[in-house]
Amino acid sequence: MNKKIKFVWDFFGSDANKTADHSLFHLEEFLMRSNINIHSKGVSKQSDDHFFSFIVLDITHLEYVKSKLSPNRAFFIE
């Protein structure tokens, strides 16, 4: 079983929820064009002014995503 990594993009402010949703749309679009399979995706709320979009991918895509999409954070997951 391949290790997976969760990439996170943080957004702050009164429009953070809308921005995170919009960001996720473009992330999916980019990864589809790059033929990268997404294991899971979504938008999560940290607080009223902090939302983040995330994608979970195989670890093999770590360097590509870091260089092309500049996530704010990333976590290894099982």
pLDDT tens for 2-59 read: 899 999 999 999 999 999 999 999 999 999 999 999 999 999 999 999 999 999 999 9
Tokens 């929820």 found at: 17
Q: If you write DSSP's letter for every residue of 16-42 in order, what string do you get?
A: HHHHHHHHHHHHHHHHHHTT---SEEE
Task: Starting at the earlier edge strand, list the strands of the sheet with 40-47.
Answer: 40-47, 50-58, 4-12, 73-77
Q: What is the pLDDT of residue 16?
A: 98
CA 70 – CA 32 distance, rounded (Å) = 17
CA 46 – CA 54 distance, rounded (Å) = 13
Domains of the chain by range and CATH? 4-77 (3.30.70.260)
Residue 78 has pLDDT above 90, yes or no: no
